[in-house]
Homo-oligomer: A and B are copies of this chain.
């Protein structure tokens, strides 16, 4: 069965009763799993981690909008985090047995449903957007809720779905599809911050490096070493092993060794398989050969 992750960001991080009502409504949707709810009072924002197939998410996301729009009013909302809507961002992320193209179609279908049902303008972003000027979340959200009416009136900023004016209390939402992020760090056996920074600059896209790498060099002061701290935004196209090998090669040029690397948080199994296949020169291997996957495909009778 296809597994799609969905990580909606909602503009409420202080009123626990509101957050609980949203989570409760999502948990009641058949086939939808609520994996995690993280709320931040300073940001006044909550992040829900959901998983399900297309049907479960098509049923669940309208429920999310209904509950959030009933309880959240952006006209009185304050918080550190930039935001444009009560339901602010809704990314769909392919995990297992589903393509990015299918997640894009799902994002568009749900965006269309929600825009029509609730009168909320919706912008598509990342892989769901075909407009290069409207792929990046920060570009779309610039001006926030307070500048939304003016933004919607500008040329090039009519929404992909829904009315060309904000929902009075709920603003607008940004809906799209993206690959899972991998937070990946490589620690260097040196205290030379300049080396970590030069390597970060060499490997990140913004300064000429690999397409799906964001990187910076930082000190780990308590350990007396430095780190190349990274976000990998598309492990299929820029795999972990290639990043590791390139960092190792760049470090050599300064006479520095890689001490270790670390994956922070979650990583898709496919990203690990890629690295095994590269280093062991594995041919003809598939995820179906992983014993645990066989167990999962034979549920209890």
Q: Which residues of A contact B (CB under 8 A)?
A: 3, 5, 27, 31-35, 51, 95-96, 180, 187, 240-241, 244, 258-263, 265-269, 272-273, 275-276, 279-285, 289-292, 294-296, 298-301
The answer on a CB contact under 8 Å between B260 and A289 is: no
Most interface-central of A241, A244, A266, A299 (chain B CB within 10 A): A266
CA distance A268 to B276 in the complex (A): 13
The answer on a CB contact under 8 Å between B281 and A258 is: yes
Q: Which residue of chain B is the closest to A95 with respect to CB atoms? A: B291
* Cβ distance A52 to chain B, nearest Cβ, rounded Å: 8
Residues A266 and B285 in contact in the complex (CB < 8 Å), given A272-B273, A280-B275, A300-B33: no
Copies assembled: 2
* Cβ distance A94 to chain B, nearest Cβ, rounded Å: 11
Known: A3-B292, A263-B289, A275-B275. 5 other contacts (CB 8 A): A33-B295, A187-B283, A244-B280, A268-B290, A269-B291
* Cβ distance A42 to chain B, nearest Cβ, rounded Å: 26
Task: State the main secondary structure of chain A at its contact with B.
Answer: mixed
Name A259's contact: one of B32, B258, B281, B294 (CB within 8 Å): B281
> Shortest 7 CB-CB distances between A and B: which pairs?
A279-B279, A260-B283, A266-B291, A260-B281, A272-B276, A268-B291, A275-B276
- Which residues from chain B contact A299 at a C-beta distance below 8 Å? 33
Q: Which residue of chain B is the closest to A96 with respect to CB atoms? A: B292
The answer on a CB contact under 8 Å between B261 and A282 is: yes
* Cβ distance A213 to chain B, nearest Cβ, rounded Å: 15
The answer on a CB contact under 8 Å between B240 and A269 is: no
